[in-house]
Amino acid sequence: MKNYDVVIIGAGASGLMCALAAGQRGRKVLVLEHTERMGNKILISGGGSCNFTNLYLKSEHYISGNPHFCKSALSRFSQHNFISLAEKHNISYQQRQLGQLFCNGNAVEILNLLLEECRLSDVKIQNRSTIKKIEKDNYFTVMTNSKNYVTESLVIATGGLSMPTIGATGFGYEVAGQFGLKVLSRQPGLVPLTFSNNDLENFSDLSGISADAAVSCNGQSFRDSILFTHRGVSGPVILQISNYWQPGDEVIINLLPDVDLAKTIKQWQKERPKTELKNLIGELITRRVANRWLELWYYNKPVNQYKEKEINEVADIFHAWHIRPSGTEGYRVAEVTRGGVDTNELSSKTFEARKMKGLYFIGEVVDVTGWLGGYNLQWAWSSGFCAGQFV
Ligand SMILES: Cc1cc2nc3c(=O)[nH]c(=O)nc-3n(C[C@H](O)[C@H](O)[C@H](O)COP(=O)(O)OP(=O)(O)OC[C@H]3O[C@@H](n4cnc5c(N)ncnc54)[C@H](O)[C@@H]3O)c2cc1C
């Protein structure tokens, strides 16, 4: 005999959203969470202010083996639906750059919203639940360290692999494997990139410097700030491009995206001919970067001594700095996991597995990864809410 209509594994963003939506339909819902606390990632998201969605959300801002898969859920539960929910709970928020919406207060307000809606719908949430085994007969039986639960619908909302210290596990992929669903290879996403040995020697002492930059890789470009670290490069623009980077790929960085450096040098030749080039470029970008670039790739001299060919070469080293990262900083710090349960295995309407009636996958465990800027939480809300209509 079943004792729940719906058991959801994972009390994160997507699991809680699915729970409240199913609860509102009158379904008897249990959420099982293995850590002490619910919504750990929500609490640390957006630097503690939770970038909970993005006003300018587009499906093109998601990466997936099937770029169409996310469209239906994102339109059925859009950023505007989540904004209405936040407003219903009197959460005050602000728009930052590129349509990113953050709480004015603390991320805990978003978690409290979800927990309150779950409470109103009589959703039961059980923390410190270790799942030992899942069996399927007519119903699913979920065996935990304390009890066994029998349910008609089983929702896997266990997220990705990033930040294992706050509860991330590969459990969702194991369940997919158990029921014969294909899981695509996974990689850390929205993650700092590490320098090759040579670059490490040349640039690690620039750690702490940040600059505006345009960065491209594999045909995708972003513009935002870059941060030099002891081991490589980070900052929003690097996190964004990391979603498109594959091991071995080159990343091209324009450190002066607003300037036509060749043209500017010619201007300087007329206006400030005796000034050394490194000092002039040091007015456009941090002096230490200007010095280092000229030390490594060119020679510094008064600006009037540069010939046309040299001017173009100098412009190139600032406009197209090529690096071939040795890797990423890994799941320890990655904000998301790229790859995951193959979307071809799931219905984009219900999130139910095509091969296993009653089994659903939502949120980050699915092969849908968003850009930085509120896209990943919106995916969790959209997929969770939509699955919640069918479980
Ligand atoms: C530092 C950081 C900052 C971020 N900031 C933002 C942001 O501002 N905006 C944004 O859009 N996205 C942000 N993200 C990404 C976003 O938090 C995630 O994409 C989103 O939380 C995914 O939701 P989810 O429900 O799929 O997984 P999660 O929210 O990770 O929830 C999964 C839950 O399942 C539980 N779980 C795992 N394994 C088991 C198991 N075996 N048994 C039981 N429970 C289990 C976990 O403990 C967790 O509670 C950030 C991520 C990080 C790491």
Which H, E and C letters describe the chain, residue by residue? Answer: CCCEEEEEECCCHHHHHHHHHHHHCCCCEEEECCCCCCCHHHHHHHHHCCEEEECCCCHHHEECCCCCCCHHHHHHCCHHHHHHHHHHCCCCEEECHHHEEEECCCCHHHHHHHHHHHHHCCCEEECCCCEEEEEECCCEEEEECCCEEEEEEEEECCCCCCCHHHCCCCHHHHHHHHCCCCEEEEEEECCCEECCHHHHHHHHHHCCCEEEEEEEECCEEEEEEEEECCCEEECHHHHHHHCCCCCCCCEEEECCCCCCHHHHHHHHHHHCCCCEHHHHHCCCCCHHHHHHHHHHHCCCCEHHHCCHHHHHHHHHHHHCEEECCCEECCCCCCCEEEEEECHHHECCCCCEECCCCCEEECHHHECCEECCCCHHHHHHHHHHHHHHCCC
Residue 323's pLDDT band, with cuts at 50, 70 and 90, is: very high
CA dist., res. 117 & res. 105, Å (int)? 19
Q: How far is the CA of 303 from the centre of ligand 1 (A)?
A: 52
Q: Which atom of ligand 1 is nearest to the CA of 13?
A: 25
CATH class, range 4-188+335-388:
alpha beta
In the prediction, which pLDDT does 204 show? 95
Asked if residues 386 and 73 have their Cβ atoms less than 8 Å apart, the reply is yes
Q: pLDDT digit string (tens) for 186-201?
A: 999 999 999 999 999 9
Q: How far is the CA of 256 from the centre of ligand 1 (A)?
A: 35
Q: Which residues line ligand 1 (CB under 6 A)?
A: 9-15, 32-35, 40-41, 44-46, 50-51, 131, 157-159, 162-163, 167, 169, 171, 335-336, 363-365, 374-377, 380
In the prediction, which pLDDT does 276 show? 96
Q: pLDDT digit string (tens) for 198-251?
A: 999 999 999 999 999 999 999 999 999 999 999 999 999 999 999 999 999 999
- In the predicted model, what is the mean pLDDT of residues 35-56? 97
Q: Which of 31, 132, 377 best tests ligand 1's pocket when mutated (most atoms within 8 Å of CB)? A: 377
How are beta strands 220-228 and 327-328 bridged, if at all?
unpaired
| Tokens describing residue 270 | 């007329």
Backbone angles phi, psi at 6, to 5 degrees: -135, 130
| Tokens describing residue 283 | 């007015």
Backbone angles phi, psi at 217, to 5 degrees: -165, 135
Q: Provide the CATH topology of domain 192-329.
A: Elongation Factor Tu (Ef-tu); domain 3 (2.40.30)
CA dist., res. 240 & res. 231, Å (int)? 18
- Sheet arrangement for strand 193-194: 321-323, 251-254, 210-217, 220-228, 232-234, 193-194, 327-328
In the prediction, which pLDDT does 143 show? 98
Q: How far is the CA of 218 from the centre of ligand 1 (A)?
A: 27
Instruction: Name the average pLDDT for the chain.
Output: 97
| pLDDT for residue 160 is more than 90 | yes
In the prediction, which pLDDT does 316 show? 96
Q: pLDDT digit string (tens) for 105-155?
A: 999 999 999 999 999 999 999 999 999 999 999 999 999 999 999 999 999
Task: Give CA 146 to chain center in angstroms.
Answer: 34
Residue 94's pLDDT band, with cuts at 50, 70 and 90, is: very high
In the prediction, which pLDDT does 298 show? 82
CA dist., res. 258 & res. 322, Å (int)? 18
CA dist., res. 147 & res. 149, Å (int)? 7
| pLDDT for residue 297 is more than 90 | no
| Tokens describing residue 48 | 């503690």
Residue 1's pLDDT band, with cuts at 50, 70 and 90, is: confident
Task: Give CA 214 to chain center in angstroms.
Answer: 19
Asked if residues 107 and 48 have their Cβ atoms less than 8 Å apart, the reply is yes
Here the contacts of 110-115 (C-beta below 8 Å, separation 24 or greater) are 110/39, 110/42, 110/50, 110/52, 110/86, 111/16, 111/38, 111/39, 111/42, 111/43, 113/85, 113/86, 113/89, 114/13, 114/16, 114/17, 114/20, 114/39, 114/42, 115/16, 115/38, 115/39
CA dist., res. 39 & res. 93, Å (int)? 19
Domain ranges of the chain: 4-188+335-388, 192-329
In the prediction, which pLDDT does 299 show? 85
- In the predicted model, what is the mean pLDDT of residues 259-288? 97
| pLDDT for residue 2 is more than 90 | no
In the prediction, which pLDDT does 205 show? 96
Q: Which atom of ligand 1 is nearest to the CA of 377?
A: 11
